[in-house]
Chain A
């Protein structure tokens, strides 16, 4: 879940991403991609623990340290249908929000104004809202393949390509030692064109029966921002939490 949140949140503040250099090492025998993903799922608490939850609410901070920018971030997610909303507020800029309510994907920033996503942006936002994305359900991610054993964020990792049903190809990096996902490289359509971002995940902590990454460092075209979650709660989210702001409702009408 947080992984997908990170993908959306990254598009809120820093509109561009640069690929982090990944040092490649030769690998003799590579494990099957599904095995790698399942190992991650097991490490975070198991498939049943993931499926046990129907909604999530997380709070934390969004920081761009080099620029001296920071602000609170709040994330809501739910399934049936998959929905997501990410909000942050940055001093001097204002409130920035992005969401998918099950039908409409949207964003509102004081810089660009309210915007409904259409076409590829909408299709991708729908899958980015996948509440059970940790599982990489074959129905939604039909093709997964282990590419190589490499170094990512200074750690030996398996690089796995993930082809989604919307045609998007992502790359996941799974820590060889722990099995936990260390990060990802994603390419998305956005209001700024096609953007590639690198997410470095860490700070795994247990919330209930699930172990979640609590930090994501995001790199976009030379900029870097970090999301740090302090509270993650499950199954206490009202449906109204996913209602778009008034400006978006006016666009939908």
Chain B
């Protein structure tokens, strides 16, 4: 998931150990590429071509650009470098705080998709549905020009999101100036305070600290039923106890809705535990295939709750909400339960970046994210490069965002009503 944010960045320091680091990246990919058909001879030639450029790089930023070129030629997700230092001496180092808004690309416009109630954007009066025109003085049109006609929507979405987030984030307590077109069509510029990300801080190994947030609430369906809504922002084990508590509250609900919009993944093995709340027998969500072996992601029926009591897994209808920023483990989970016929997926096609990955510390201190295997669902559907295709597509619509509507959630709740009407 971190590759999403840092994948396009490069960095700088006098001690970036270019030769050793380049060789390490090149070898890790060569030795560990999951595809049996991986062209190692071509990789050798590429290494020979780019290694001199890496060594000649004058800054760590230039060096990382060479690495990005090397990894980019694989044409796959989950090959990226997380910098340990800034690209250049004047670059922002600390991206831990954010203004509290998320964006999506809708009809080639960057639109505010959501606003955190406790964030700086909410305090500044920013609303969902506003059009972002510039961030920190950089016009959004500058970025959109880089997204060519014909770019698949899921890739365009990702590029737009990266552009925005890399500029919106910064050190806690600083501000970012963002220009918008508001709901009335007026141009407004807001100075938005960046605040430390909320949630439970979690650090796994060499990865940067992530902040885990889990939300849950009981919703009413249009037809008078009930549905438990659970959302979380990243797949870390801190999610599990909160998810368990939520499931205990929702066991008698008419349906459960899992909101994975904007969730870019995390610890892939977790999909086995969370999916287990919805299956009564061990069931294969998908298979990770490496060059010479494979690992099955089997849902483990959750027969005990957090309090240690025996429970039955939830047997009612399950809806999963996805969008273009649903990635990696979230896609494996959604696609896996979809392939089992155990969940119905609503929203927009997901990111299509679903390669389980490992992370390795490099000689220069950076961290290399590299794919460990390919993932196919239980019915053999490869998600990488395709995404999870919703059973019920719901297009994003600016007018609905301005009106405070959530058409994707509404679609899921209506479906739960239809299932209720049909009966068991």
Contacts and interface: CB of A to CB of B under 8 A. Distances in A.
B359 A115 contact: no
Given A111-B267, A113-B276, A222 B290 contact: yes
Given A111-B237, A115-B300, A222 B270 contact: no
Interface in A87-104: 90-94
Interface residues of B, number: 40
A222 B31 contact: yes
A66 to B, nearest CB: 4
Interface stretch (A168-176, A210-218, A226-234, A245-253): A245-253
A113 B302 contact: yes
Interface string B27-41: 000011000000000
B300 A16 contact: no
A92 B200 CA distance: 10
B187 interface: no
B310 A250 contact: yes
A15 B302 contact: no
Interface string B182-211: 000000000000000000001111110000
Contacts of A110: 237, 240, 273
Interface in B269-313: 269-270, 272-273, 276, 282, 287, 290, 292-298, 300, 302-304, 308-310
B236 interface: yes
Nearest to A96: B237
Contact of B236 (A92, A112, A114, A196): A92
A90 B236 CA distance: 13
Contact of A251 (B204, B287, B303): B303
Interface in A50-68: 64, 66-68
Nearest to A94: B237
A92 B204 contact: yes
A18 B295 contact: no
Contacts of A193: 287, 294-296, 298
Contact of B304 (A69, A93, A221, A250): A250
Given A110-B237, A222-B31, A69 B204 contact: yes
Given A16-B290, A16-B295, A94-B237, A67 B205 contact: yes
A64 B205 contact: yes
Given A66-B361, A111-B270, A222 B32 contact: yes
A67 B292 contact: no
B272 A111 contact: yes
Contact of A66 (B269, B272, B360): B360
Given A221-B290, A222-B372, A191 B360 contact: no
B358 interface: yes
Interface residues of A, number: 35
B206 A112 contact: no
B293 A67 contact: no
A165 interface: no
A195 interface: yes
Interface in B133-175: none
Contacts of B267: 93, 111
A18 B273 contact: no
Interface in B4-26: none
B308 to A, nearest CB: 4
Nearest to A17: B293
A112 B292 contact: no
Contacts of A15: 269, 295
Contact of B273 (A92, A111, A221): A111
Nearest to B274: A113
Nearest to B277: A113
Interface in A3-50: 15-16, 18-19
Contact of A192 (B202, B204, B295): B295
Given A66-B360, A222-B372, A113 B296 contact: no
Contacts of A115: 300
A114 B273 CA distance: 9
A213 to B, nearest CB: 25
Given A67-B360, A114-B304, A251-B303, A191 B236 contact: no
Contact of A112 (B203, B300, B308, B358): B300
Contacts of A68: 205-207, 361
Contacts of B310: 250-251, 253
Given A67-B358, A68-B205, A222-B372, A93 B237 contact: yes
A191 B300 CA distance: 8
Contacts of A66: 358, 360-361
B197 to A, nearest CB: 16
A68 B358 CA distance: 11
16 contacts: A18-B290, A67-B358, A67-B361, A92-B203, A94-B237, A109-B269, A111-B273, A193-B294, A221-B290, A221-B372, A222-B32, A223-B358, A246-B308, A247-B304, A250-B303, A251-B310
Given A66-B361, A222-B31, 16 more contacts: A15-B295, A16-B295, A64-B205, A90-B204, A92-B202, A110-B237, A111-B272, A112-B269, A112-B276, A112-B300, A113-B300, A114-B304, A191-B298, A191-B300, A193-B294, A222-B372
Closest 6 CB pairs of A and B: A68-B206, A92-B204, A110-B237, A68-B205, A193-B296, A69-B205
